[in-house]
């Protein structure tokens, strides 16, 4: 074989390898260049793309970094991507993730406790809502600063309720028998198909709320003992399942619900597809944006004694172990959750809504002081009574909030009860059998993780 041919083939092979290697290393280059450009760079993961409130706060927080630049590749938190970054040593300085994940990562040692951060930046943890703090505390150590808080209230579609002859007092979670009657009156089945949902209990998502009706929780305070098959949990599942069974079963119920334009202009309130349901507070914003004339009433989810309760959900900021600049990360977290930051973006949001001719339904955070200041100093009634009344309710709601205590196996605990409820909804198991199985699965996961 001639030298010329050998060289040709060798060049082809080398060029191929070179191309593959160049492509492999290309992704690392922008970060390197950013660091070399001068000064410190805060590497953020899991944040954005956000709305005006998120982006506005990010701008304020960036200014609090003393000249350091911010590298924030947009994209939501993803476990797979986060683990890949940990494995490759490309550890972000600060991460934004759902609060129910904090316990799992804290238990695995992947997050730094924030005690020194609180000290160095003089952050008062008392300003944050206790329930939100509990969600990001594991074995007595705080691992994240809670940010937004979505509390759950009941949204009543007044048109549907009136047409069905159901009063607002009937749509109360305190009296289950009365609620079931209201559900039956409001739902509509035509030609074997559900054409209107009466009361959607929103299980499995809000199952902890229904169990809290008894004052019980799905996991012990220290997060180490699953409590999924208590008699309260079984009773809660039996009742909520009965609300769905009234519609002819889960199949019909879900098939109809899947057709909703939930976040659009033909949402289930406007289209009269739902009588009432518990939902997160951000949905009032959606309604105010898309259907400002929707006739709704916001109500508390109440326990068996009539007292309001609400389940907290939200995200938080945490510092991963291996962060190159935990101090800078701490400054960022403090600024993102500070009272002044929230107030500033709330003002901008109010002005934006005014320009759009829409109602401002408030900003609900895990920071008690921020919520108070926003409501007292920024919020102005829109003149749309249904949303103004909702805001009054939402402002008070967080004081009745709770969240599931953090657990070293929080994802698996959640998955265990979700699977159990899905088996019940699919008619495969009774609530008792399903929750017994869930209890075994969850406790097994906790025992392995603690």
- Residue 355, Cα to own-chain centre: how many angstroms? 29
- Closer by beta carbon to another protein, 209 or else 409: 409
DSSP letter, residue 225: S
Q: Is 196 left (phi over 0), alpha (psi -120 to 50) or beta?
A: beta
Q: Minimal distance in Å, beta carbon 324 to another protein?
A: 14
**DSSP codes of every residue in 12-55:** HHHHHHHHHHHHHHHTTHHHHHHHHTSS-EEEEES--S--HHHH
- Closer by beta carbon to another protein, 220 or else 428: 428
Q: Minimal distance in Å, beta carbon 338 to another protein?
A: 30
Q: Minimal distance in Å, beta carbon 247 to another protein?
A: 11
- Closer by beta carbon to another protein, 378 or else 416: 416
- Closer by beta carbon to another protein, 292 or else 322: 322
- Closer by beta carbon to another protein, 237 or else 345: 237
Q: Minimal distance in Å, beta carbon 116 to another protein?
A: 18
The whole-angstrom separation of Cα 30 and Cα 73 is: 11
- Closer by beta carbon to another protein, 18 or else 307: 18
Q: Minimal distance in Å, beta carbon 192 to another protein?
A: 8
- Closer by beta carbon to another protein, 392 or else 440: 440
**Token pair in block for residue 102:** 């904090």
The whole-angstrom separation of Cα 126 and Cα 180 is: 40
Give the number of C-alpha atoms closer than 13 A to the C-alpha of residue 18, restricted to the C-beta side.
6
Q: Minimal distance in Å, beta carbon 17 to another protein?
A: 6
Return the closest-CA partner of residue 435 out of 173, 178, 241, 294.
241
- Closer by beta carbon to another protein, 160 or else 446: 446
**Token pair in block for residue 206:** 């809000």
- Closer by beta carbon to another protein, 76 or else 158: 76
Q: Minimal distance in Å, beta carbon 443 to another protein?
A: 13
**Angle at the Cα of 426 (from 421 to 430), degrees rounded to 5?**
60
Going through 3-151 in order, the beta strands assigned E by DSSP cover 41-45, 69-71, 94-98, 137-138, 141-142, 145-146
Q: Which residues bind another protein (CB under 8 A)?
A: 1-2, 5-6, 8-10, 12-13, 16-17, 20, 76, 79-80, 83, 86-87, 89, 91, 101, 104-105, 108-110, 192-194, 204-205, 250-252, 254-256, 258-259, 321-322, 409, 411-412, 415, 418-419, 422-423, 426, 428, 445, 448-449
Contact present, 389 and 82 (Cβ < 8 Å): no
Q: Is 403 left (phi over 0), alpha (psi -120 to 50) or beta?
A: beta
**DSSP codes of every residue in 281-340:** THHHHHHHHH-TT--EEEE-EE-TTS-EEEE-B-EEEE-BTT-S-HHHHHHHHHHHT-HH
Q: Minimal distance in Å, beta carbon 220 to another protein?
A: 19
Residue 118 CA: distances (Å) to CA of 68, 202, 326, 329, 330 = 20, 37, 12, 12, 8
Q: Minimal distance in Å, beta carbon 128 to another protein?
A: 24
């Amino acid at each position: 074989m001639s030298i010329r041919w050998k060289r040709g083939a060798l060049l082809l092979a080398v060029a191929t390898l070179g191309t593959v290697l160049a492509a492999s290393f290309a992704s690392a280059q922008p970060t390197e260049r950013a660091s070399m450009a001068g000064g410190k760079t805060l590497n953020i993961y899991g944040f954005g793309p956000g709305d005006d409130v998120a982006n506005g706060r990010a701008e304020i927080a960036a200014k609090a970094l003393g000249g350091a630049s911010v590298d924030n590749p947009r994209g939501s938190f993803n476990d797979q991507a986060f683990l890949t970054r940990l494995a490759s040593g490309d550890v972000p300085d600060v991460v934004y993730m759902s609060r129910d994940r904090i316990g799992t990562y804290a238990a695995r040692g992947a997050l730094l406790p924030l005690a020194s951060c609180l000290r160095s930046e003089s952050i008062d943890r008392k300003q944050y809502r206790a329930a939100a703090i509990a969600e990001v505390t594991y074995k007595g150590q705080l691992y994240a600063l809670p940010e937004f808080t979505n509390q759950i209230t009941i949204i009543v579609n007044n048109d549907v309720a009136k047409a069905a002859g159901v009063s607002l007092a009937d749509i109360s979670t305190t009296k289950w028998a009365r609620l079931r009657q209201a559900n039956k009156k409001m739902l509509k089945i035509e030609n074997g198909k559900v054409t209107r949902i009466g009361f959607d209990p929103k299980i499995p998502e809000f199952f902890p709320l229904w169990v809290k009706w008894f004052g019980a929780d799905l996991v012990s305070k220290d997060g180490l003992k699953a409590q999924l098959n208590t008699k309260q949990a079984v009773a809660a599942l039996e009742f909520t399942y009965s609300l769905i069974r009234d519609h002819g079963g889960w199949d019909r119920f879900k098939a109809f619900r899947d057709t909703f334009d939930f976040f659009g202009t033909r949402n289930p309130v406007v289209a009269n597809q739902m009588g009432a349901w518990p939902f997160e507070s951000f949905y009032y914003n959606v309604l105010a944006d898309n259907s400002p004339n929707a006739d709704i009433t916001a109500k508390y989810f109440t326990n068996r004694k009539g007292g309001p309760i609400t389940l907290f959900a939200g995200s938080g900021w945490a510092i991963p172990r291996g962060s190159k600049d935990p101090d800078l990360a701490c400054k960022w977290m403090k600024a993102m959750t500070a009272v002044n930051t929230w107030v500033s973006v709330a003002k901008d949001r109010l002005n934006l809504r005014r320009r759009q001719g829409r109602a401002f339904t408030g900003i609900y955070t895990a920071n008690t002081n921020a919520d108070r200041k926003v409501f007292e100093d920024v919020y102005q009634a829109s003149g749309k009574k249904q949303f103004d009344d909702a805001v009054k309710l939402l402002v008070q709601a967080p004081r009745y909030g709770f969240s599931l205590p953090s657990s070293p196996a929080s994802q698996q605990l959640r998955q265990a009860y979700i699977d159990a409820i899905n088996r019940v909804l699919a008619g495969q198991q009774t609530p008792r059998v399903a929750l017994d199985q869930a209890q075994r699965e969850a406790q097994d996961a906790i025992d392995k993780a603690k």
